[in-house]
Structure 1
Amino acid sequence: MTLDIPDELIDWRAKGFWLPSGEVSVRDFVAARHSLLDGSFTWPLLVVRDSAVRANIATMAAYADRHGFSFAPHAKTTMAPTLLDAQLAAGAWAMTVATASQALVLRRLGVPRVLIANEVLDPTALRWLAAESARGWEVLLQVDSVAAVEAVAAAGGLPVLVELGHAGGRTGCRTVAEALTVARAAAAAPGVVLSGVTAYEGALPDAAAVDDLLATLAASARAMAGLLSAEVIVSAGGSAWFDRVVKAFEGQWLDGHRVRAVLRSGASVTHDDGFYSERTPFNREPGEGNLAAALELWAQVLSTPEPGLAIVGMGKRDVPFDEGLPAAAGLTVTRLNDHHAYVTGGAPAVGDLLRFGLSHPCTAFDKWRFIPVVDDADVVVDVLHTYF
């Protein structure tokens, strides 16, 4: 299937694109085959490397298929319809979102199946979700309390997954007993369909903690097995521990039921040069695959006011900084202001154009409305439009 992606117009409002007057459609801009250095852009500029994205999508699709998992990558990483379309074309079973607003975007784009990896309690959003579900759209959301189940039922009912969490974490039942209480409420609530269990292990510090949470998730599925239908969804998998998820849930392990195990690893589509490059499961299992960093931030040296210090024209408005700072070979970014980076190392000169790798793609895309995709010759082959 192909998503219904509009041909957006790029104009002077698009950061990084140099269009002082007039406007151009994405289709026409791509057809012109602009180069990064032909005057069509100004700096700073976020760029996506086409070859890396394509390879990453293929790698994760093959990995999920090889282990018998369905793949529902988290759309909130990019919220870029072109990338969502490419992931679906590669065999993604569904797309995952974090909010009702993101679910609305994906519905309008034509994504056929969506997992909301979060609790939704807003009655306005729940009524809309229930109505769209009644029209045939496949959408599932999470519940971790009887109150959440009652809110879903009051809106007309939806398929739900009972969420498990961990001490000190965010949402999710903390024990099997709590999960079973929520499951019983869901099974009894009019219009609510109990579809399985889910968790997020990505924030845990080590493999032992991850395995403990996944064991609790499996125990919860077994405890509520009598309430579940023939197919049971068991969903987990950030981008740091999906190998442990595969080890925990591979195969058919729930007696009397068919398990559909679902990975939701979203950052894998672009990977990075920082947080996930250090934590990807493929570092532990190199024979399973490899991901390549696809995000680049191009910025210019504005000043060298002191020996050993360069001030580069990029800052918190442009790059992620919550899970590590940008980096370039031989250079160190020590801190960021809103529009300036403090860089040490090397011998950059005023006016030099530098290319930085980024850390944590999930907080990169939302800073850019339009993002050029370039081939390995730095020619624009697509332009992403983000829907944040």
Structure 2
Amino acid sequence: MDRAAWERLSGERVDWQHKGMSPDFWGLTVAELRARRPRLSEFPTPLLTLSRPALDHNIAALASWCADRGFDLAPHGKTTMAPALWQQQLDAGAWAITVANLPQLAVARAFGMPRVMVANAVISPLSLRWIVDELAAHTQDEIYVWADAVRTVQLMHEALEAHAADAGPRPPLRVLVERGGTGGRTGARDLRTALETAAAVADSPYLLLAGVAGYEGALAHTADDQALEVVASYLRDLAQVHQDLLDGGRYPEGITPVITAGGSAYFDVVDEVLRPFADAGARVVLRSGAYVVHDDGFYRGISPLGQHPRTAGPTVRAAMHGWVRVSSQPEPGLAIFDGGKRDLPFDEGLPEVQLLRPRTAGDQVTQLDGIEVTALNDQHGFLRFDADAAAPVRIGDELRLGLSHPCTALDKWVLVPVIDDADAEDPVVVDLLRTWF
């Protein structure tokens, strides 16, 4: 990546546009604020933070897991949309960064990302023209897109053919044929459709058949034996597309075909089904994204390296937390805090109450039990507890929340404080992470 591009972010000035930044910080550059090493207590609530030790650990954990199996890693950048984290993942050995659409690809290219996978079909002529112009200007770079139907390939071919007539020859665009599963998202639902799509790609001079792709995470939502077999069966179907293309001599000479699958929930099954293809010379690419942040909810329970490991390797850790303040106690057994859906993820489970921060100097961090987040409004959260017992919180208390689903967490924040120790009485903010959503 273009390190100078993201290092220039240190000169960005903090101001009223950045939610979660104290007015005391307005006018400072990110570098100046980082040098001050402010404490968490100097930031208003609500706030989302990331843990530096947990981020570092998670990045190293999956990098080593992939290396041990001969896999490549193209982390899904849409989880964080933070080029500084992408750079850290690349430094740990990632082969590429994955994105979901053209705006995300534009962010990656703005920061000099040389190899990007767009895990989606791109059929807009405007988008296709820009992509191949990027490739013409940077001939060593690689951009991959997906296709799951002959019609998709026809639209791509027509758009690129028209552009070539106007602008001259451009490098062919690398295409992965997407195999889908019943009840899933996109992707050819049967082998015949996948192979017909591949043939259409191979027949176009403007496209290059580079491999096969899929996403298993949409087919299951648990880790029981039945769910794991659904995922494994789908991955065998994906592998069959690759094998048929290989046997039929459809791949161009001189390329290493890509087989890519794997979110953050079932990469152990990807290992089980696809590792033989890595051993046979294909490039098996995992696209996990949520692992870098992990969570205290959905992924904690389902990740192969989570609370209940299903594969060998270091377990990953929750790196994100919410910090909120109790703002009202309108009735017994109920307290309201100052964070809501605009601040915290909620689509894969509500936040969980974890810690009470010290109320006065000399107090200790306190573990909270018997208190539950039962609902979120746009800007408020509801805490419920035993109405007949002494209230465990009072107005003004600051709480740490565990959160679920990193993919819908960071999009609510432009500058995310990165802290040194989420368990400390008053953590030190060691960095500010810039996101682009």
TM-score by length of 1: 0.96
Aligned counterpart, 1:266: 289
Matched letter for residue 428 of structure 2: V
Structure 1 unaligned spans of 5+: none
Deviation at 1:112, TM superposition (A): 1.4
Matched letter for residue 354 of structure 1: L
Alignment of 1:84 with 2:86, yes or no, is yes
Alignment of 1:164 with 2:187, yes or no, is no
Count of residue pairs brought into register by the alignment: 384
Cα distance change of structure 1 residues 353 and 286 upon mapping to structure 2, 3 Å threshold: farther
Aligned counterpart, 1:285: 310
Aligned counterpart, 1:178: 193
Deviation at 1:151, TM superposition (A): 2.6
CA distance in 2, matches of 1:287, 1:145: 38
Matched letter for residue 187 of structure 2: G
Give SS of 1:65's match: helix
Matched letter for residue 36 of structure 2: A
CA distance in 1, matches of 2:176, 2:26: 48
Cα distance change of structure 1 residues 183 and 47 upon mapping to structure 2, 3 Å threshold: same
Aligned counterpart, 1:338: 378
Aligned counterpart, 2:343: 318
Cα distance change of structure 1 residues 252 and 144 upon mapping to structure 2, 3 Å threshold: closer
CA distance in 1, matches of 2:135, 2:233: 34
Deviation at 1:324, TM superposition (A): 0.4
Give SS of 1:131's match: helix
CA contact (8 A) 2:75 2:287 kept: yes
Aligned with residue 150 of structure 1, among 147, 154, 157: 154
Cα distance change of structure 1 residues 62 and 254 upon mapping to structure 2, 3 Å threshold: closer
The structure with the largest alpha-carbon Rg is: 2
CA distance in 1, matches of 2:293, 2:63: 14
CA distance in 1, matches of 2:27, 2:44: 16
CA distance in 2, matches of 1:118, 1:286: 29
Alignment of 1:209 with 2:254, yes or no, is no
Matched letter for residue 135 of structure 2: S
Aligned counterpart, 2:434: 385
Matched letter for residue 194 of structure 1: L
Alignment of 1:295 with 2:320, yes or no, is yes
- Which range moved further: 282-291 or 58-67? 282-291
Matched letter for residue 372 of structure 2: T
CA contact (8 A) 1:68 1:251 kept: no
Deviation at 1:284, TM superposition (A): 3.4
Aligned counterpart, 2:32: 28
Deviation at 1:150, TM superposition (A): 2.1
Deviation at 1:2, TM superposition (A): 5.5
Matched letter for residue 215 of structure 1: R
Q: How does 1:1-388 map to 2 (within 5 A)?
A: 3=3, 4-5=5-6, 6-7=8-9, 8-19=12-23, 22-37=26-41, 39=42, 41-134=43-136, 135-136=138-139, 137-156=141-160, 157-205=172-220, 206-225=227-246, 226-229=249-252, 230-252=255-277, 258-282=281-305, 283-285=308-310, 287-329=312-354, 330=369, 331-345=371-385, 347-376=392-421, 378-388=427-437
Q: Percent identity?
A: 45
CA contact (8 A) 2:48 2:321 kept: yes
Matched letter for residue 118 of structure 1: N
TM-score by length of 2: 0.85
Structure 1, residues 100-126: CA drift from partner, whole Å, max 9, x if none? 110011001011110000111111011
Deviation at 1:154, TM superposition (A): 3.0
CA distance in 1, matches of 2:192, 2:155: 21
Deviation at 1:253, TM superposition (A): 6.7
Structure 2 unaligned spans of 5+: 161-171, 221-226, 355-368, 386-390
Cα distance change of structure 1 residues 45 and 26 upon mapping to structure 2, 3 Å threshold: same
CA distance in 1, matches of 2:192, 2:131: 29
Give SS of 2:276's match: coil
Deviation at 1:28, TM superposition (A): 1.1
Matched letter for residue 344 of structure 1: R
Cα distance change of structure 1 residues 21 and 36 upon mapping to structure 2, 3 Å threshold: closer
Cα distance change of structure 1 residues 22 and 309 upon mapping to structure 2, 3 Å threshold: closer
Matched letter for residue 125 of structure 1: S
CA contact (8 A) 1:30 1:382 kept: yes
CA distance in 1, matches of 2:399, 2:2: 36
- Which range moved further: 127-136 or 356-365? 127-136
Cα distance change of structure 1 residues 217 and 36 upon mapping to structure 2, 3 Å threshold: same
Deviation at 1:22, TM superposition (A): 4.2
CA contact (8 A) 1:44 1:300 kept: yes
Deviation at 1:158, TM superposition (A): 0.5
Structure 1, residues 123-142: CA drift from partner, whole Å, max 9, x if none? 10111111112232211010
Deviation at 1:286, TM superposition (A): 5.5
Cα distance change of structure 1 residues 145 and 274 upon mapping to structure 2, 3 Å threshold: same
CA contact (8 A) 1:308 1:347 kept: no
Cα distance change of structure 1 residues 188 and 147 upon mapping to structure 2, 3 Å threshold: same
Give SS of 2:312's match: helix
Give SS of 1:9's match: coil
CA contact (8 A) 1:297 1:319 kept: yes
CA contact (8 A) 1:320 1:361 kept: yes
